[in-house]
Amino acid sequence: MTRASNSPPLLVVEDLKTHFFTRRGVTKAVDGVSFTLLAGETLALVGESGCGKSVTCLSLVRLVPEPAGRIVGGRVLFEGQDLLQKSSAEMRRIRGKRIAMVLQDPMTSLNPALTIGTQVGEVVRLHQGLRGDSLRQRVLEALRRLRISAAETRLSHYPHQFSGGMRQRVSSAIALSCAPRLLIADEPTTSLDVTIQAQYLDLLREVQASAGVAVILVTHDFGIVAAIADRVAVMYAGRIVEMGSTAQIFDRPSHPYTRALLRCLPAAERGRQPLVEIGGQPPDLARLPDGCPFVPRCPDRLPICETKFPPLVAIAAGHDAHCWAALPATESAAPLVGGSGGGAAVAPPQSH
């Protein structure tokens, strides 16, 4: 959480849209996501299953499953350059080197047929051009940094010889061995038991502090959010519906969906269990309504919510929510603005 707040943002995502074209129609998995991330900052991406968190992460590194999935709009400016304009070869160089990913299931990111030493070594060799003993030393260093004990012996072991927590640390070692500027971790602790999960979070904190790596962390668990995130983006139906600092989100959740998620909070005490269900189902992303997609589940809905997607309402500096009910009462009773902003309390669309 070492933030360099004076420098330009590391990542600027503008109106990102990723859709899946299937026989059922067009699924708008990510539909207009915008946010920025500063160097060294940690952003938590939260929301129920199926709201587009993983597809957002995959889109940032151009790993959307093709041909059904396609990025259909937006910009992903990383260190000032639009990743959506890069060639596949350029993206391969950026992934793993400047941007690292840790996937939900570490088994899928490790090759069961290769030793850990070979796998970590391959990444280091590819990106740093090291050979022989200096390569070996760099690999050992990467493993030790992630507190993998007896690293020398471990080099010759295969993934199945490691526990789940170890595997997650090995895939993190691979991810971090090339000193990335951005780590994208998609539910990295979901497959870990509670003790290992706590260790993993300590590790993530160390990584944040020592290397100043910016982190996008997808998680279901607000306990984890509170522990390590600087800011929170709440996703619903392919969009970020509320965004703010971690303190703002906890102190003044302003979208009814965020409040519903937080009501499930005893999560912090419950450990790693998934969120308690909120009544009703998330909408079908292939048949999104014109109005707010949270309407059928929303305790605060107003008539206008049924017909018009809510504008981005500024709650405080750096904190906003897409919600008609978050507008001051006079404005929501007689709204002056459409879905694209305009009233005094309505922030410009790119303020994320």
Site for ligand ADP, rule CB under 6 A: 20, 22, 27, 29, 47, 49-55, 65, 68-69, 285
- Helix %, strand %, coil % for the chain, to 5? 35, 25, 40
- Name the minimum Å distance from CB 53 to Mg ion: 5
257 binds, among Mg ion, ligand ADP, none (CB under 5 to 8 A by kind): none
Answer with the entry of ligand ADP, Mg ion, none that 25 interacts with (C-beta below 5 to 8 A by kind): none
For 268, the token pair is 């912090």
Place of tokens 């059928």: 296
In what side-by-side order are the strands of the sheet with 312-316? 99-102, 182-186, 214-218, 42-46, 231-236, 239-245, 319-322, 312-316
**# chain residues binding Mg ion, by CB under 5 A:** 2
* Distance of closest approach, residue 45 Cβ to Mg ion, in angstroms: 9
Q: Which amino acid is at 194?
A: V
- The CA distance from 122 to 128, in Å, is 10
| Least spacing, CB of residue 49 vs ligand ADP, in Å | 4
Peptide bond into 349 cis (omega under 30): no
Residue 29 contacts which entry, Mg ion, ligand ADP, none (Cβ below 5-8 A, type-dependent):
ligand ADP
Partner whose binding site includes residue 68, from ligand ADP, Mg ion, none (CB under 5 to 8 Å by kind): ligand ADP
Distances (CA, A) of 337 to 115, 309, 333: 59, 11, 11
Asked if 54 interacts with Mg ion (CB under 5 A), we say: yes
What are the Cα distances from residue 46, in Å, to 231, 241, 243, 315? 11, 11, 10, 19
* Shortest Å, Cβ 254 to Mg ion: 25
Q: Which does 177 bind (CB under 5 to 8 A by kind): ligand ADP, Mg ion, none?
A: none
Among ligand ADP, Mg ion, none, residue 22 binds (CB under 5-8 Å by kind)? ligand ADP
CB of 192 to ligand ADP, least distance (A): 18
Cβ nearer to Mg ion, comparing 54 with 119: 54
DSSP summary character for residue 157: -
- We find the least distance from the C-beta atom of residue 51 to ligand ADP, in angstroms, to be 4
> What is the helix (H) or strand (E) element at residue 197, kind and residue range?
helix 194-211
In the complex, which residue's CB is closest to Mg ion?
54
For ligand ADP, which is the closer residue by CB, 27 or 254?
Answer: 27
Binding site for Mg ion (CB under 5 A): 53-54
